[in-house]
Amino acid sequence: MYLGFVDMNAGFLIIIAAMIIGMIARSKVNGTYRKFSKVTTGRGLSGAVVARQILDNYGLANIDIEEISGHLTDHYDSRSSTLRLSQNVYSGTSIASVGVAAHEAGHAVQDAMGYGPFQIRQKLVPVANLGSQMLFPLIIGGLFFHITALYYIGAALYGAALLFQLVTLPVEFDASRRAVVYLERSGSVTAGELQGVRKVLGAAAMTYVAAALASLGQMIWLLLAGRRK
């Protein structure tokens, strides 16, 4: 009983620690983005132009680039082969805009080259969404009806969401690596500006690390809760 209590607390501590790290990471990424969104690159290339150059460099002329609303809503949609950039990133010529656009273009390159982790993550999306949506209903159902099996069903579904978070890490780090390599080789930014790009993308990466830790903590708590029933 005592060991179970300690284990449960350990799961809670992981979740709480991840939440704190997540808040710090989000604050860091917003602060870093704001800082470097005010610094224009020497060549004055917009995010959309840099993204187009990267895509064309890899022979991906078939991928469209669209401007969308919102703040940091940038993403690559593999279903429609479309790179969507937020307004500030699309037309912005700052270090932050160029870095984010190059990163998202990196995802399109991953897709085209059949990068393993990216392909796995795409296949996990439907199951991960289901696991996230069904987690709490299954927990409540297990408590109300005293059915331990519901915990494990929820844990199994949530396991897919956890796997999605874990696979996301190499996908995001690799996209940032590709962005930095291209920007350096192409001369789109100076050496000093490239350091700013690294800081922007590094801060963003920490949010994914925090999300993975939070999912891991929740998974541990779920398994321990089910064991105690």
User: What are the sequence ranges of the domains in the chain?
Assistant: 2-228
| 17: Cβ contacts below 8 Å, ≥ 6 apart | 213, 217
Annotated active-site residue 104? The verdict is yes
Query: Can you tell me the distance from the alpha carbon of 106 to that of 174, in angstroms, rounded to the nearest whole number?
Result: 8
- Is the CB of residue 21 less than 8 Å from the CB of residue 213? yes
Q: Please give the pLDDT value at position 19.
A: 74
pLDDT digit of tens for each residue in the chain (229 aa)?
434 444 456 656 766 776 787 788 788 888 999 999 999 999 999 999 999 999 999 999 999 999 999 988 999 999 999 999 999 999 999 999 999 999 999 999 999 999 999 999 999 888 777 766 766 676 666 656 666 676 667 677 777 788 888 999 999 999 999 999 999 999 999 999 999 999 999 999 988 888 887 777 777 776 665 555 5
Q: Please give the pLDDT value at position 5.
A: 42
Burial class of 99 by CB neighbour count within 10 A (0 to 12, 13 to 18, 19+)? buried
Q: Please give the pLDDT value at position 105.
A: 98
Q: How far is CA 137 from the centre of its chain?
A: 25
pTM: 0.83
Q: Please give the pLDDT value at position 218.
A: 73
Name the active-site residue from 67, 104, 172, 193: 104
Q: Please give the pLDDT value at position 27.
A: 86
CB atoms within 10 A of CB 224: 19
